[in-house]
Chain A
Amino acid sequence: MTVLRQSLELGLTLCRTCGLAVSRASLESDGRCPRCQSRIEHRTPFSTEMTLAWLIAGIVLYIPANLLPVMHTSGLLGEADSTILGGIFEFWRSGDWDIALLIFIASVAVPFTKFIAIGLLLVTVRNKSRWQQHQRTALYRIVEFIGYWSMLDVIVVALTSALMQFQVLGTAEPRAGIAFFCGVVVVTMLSALSFDPRLIWDQRV
């Protein structure tokens, strides 16, 4: 089997913006990609610090996102504020267990998994661990892929509020929780995007 080598050993480096393999010698004096003019760094600068900062912001925003109501409904059945968990419970009780599960996955399981996964990646990279490098890279790709599906609840609340505007039958309005939740999605996506997965592989035998 051929030996697998990292870019530095061969005097190369990758432009993450356009995907070009650039020889380190030919990097223009200011360190920019000859094709797309993006700044090229061997590793994303301050990757773990930025990832950690966004992660903490996400966890902080996650608390009001779950405690505050996301929607206010009023109608024949009276007035009610509903939270994300309350909404899921409501679906579950009315027999729509599949929708309850879908919203649970998108709004609760996905953000929670992201916090744990990003935290794990940060701790192992900081400890220069060589443990399960392959699986950890897969974990990073999963976090990147599932991140934006959490926007689901924001969209459902927005559509419901747009549609339920009947004087007699009832109205629905968004509440503060949904803004915090939107913040959680954006901030955790920024956290995942700040992480440089190559750090996982920098610890060699």
Chain B
Amino acid sequence: MNPILICRDCDTVYRAIPLRRGDVALCRRCDAVLARYFGADAESGLALVCAAAICFAIANLTPILSIDVAGVETRANVWFAVLSLEQGWISVAALGLAFTTFLTPAVQIALLFWVLLFARAGLRPPGFGPIMKLLHRMRPWSMTEVFLLGALVAIVKLANWVPITAGAGIWAIAALTVVLALLGRCDPASWWSIAPAVKT
């Protein structure tokens, strides 16, 4: 554990004390979260990452929403949504959507899998430093939960006109949101602490 904590938001320095399960250390000056109890080991982290990978695969392979009108069926998931924005220069929006709802979650899951696979075996993964930096940079750009809300709004929006049904994908997206949130709660600083245990 870090013996010294520095607040990200107001730069105040603290001496760290051991946290118990459920504890959150807050900054006295600005109330920022300094640290959370970190109970996850490489083993349970890896289990969460595998769950995330499975949910991600289901969400991208099955329809999230579908409409059936007189035998003609249209379907949509993350990928279909991205492709529908691909029109002339509007495609920049397709890029934005692909980056935030497909690429970022996919890369996050893959990188965490790589890191934790090695950590579980007690090894420092090749490229650990750059990978952790990349994970830190990508964190604000992961928008799976926004996509879930968007799908729910689309259901309500279209249900007035057409028979719209939610497919397996929507449950997968919902589960993915929860799993990614759990992984996200383990802040990067805590994931780093796996490394010294692993041997620098």
Contact = CB atoms under 8 A, between A and B. Distances in A.
Interface string A99-123: 1001100000000000000000000
Contact of A156 (B83, B93, B157): B157
Interface size on B, as a range, is: 35 or more
Contact of B160 (A17, A94, A103): A94
Interface stretch (B18-26, B69-77, B106-114): B69-77
Interface in A146-190: 147-149, 151-152, 154-169, 173-176, 178-179, 181-183, 185-186, 189
A155 B77 CA distance: 11
B17 interface: no
Given A38-B133, A174-B87, A182 B153 contact: no
Interface of A: prevailing SS: helix
Contacts of B81: 155, 158-159, 161-162
Interface in B80-102: 80-85, 87, 89-90, 92-94, 96-97, 100-101
B192 A18 contact: yes
Contacts of A175: 90
B121 interface: no
Contact of B13 (A7, A38, A96): A7
24 contacts: A4-B29, A10-B13, A12-B4, A18-B188, A21-B6, A99-B156, A133-B10, A134-B30, A152-B146, A154-B97, A154-B150, A155-B101, A158-B93, A159-B65, A162-B81, A166-B67, A166-B69, A167-B72, A175-B90, A182-B92, A183-B92, A193-B140, A198-B11, A201-B10
A166 B74 contact: yes
B30 A160 contact: no
Interface of B: 2, 4-6, 8-13, 28-32, 65-67, 69, 72, 74-76, 80-85, 87, 89-90, 92-94, 96-97, 100-101, 129, 132-133, 136, 140-141, 143, 146-147, 149-151, 153-154, 156-158, 160-162, 164, 187-189, 192, 195
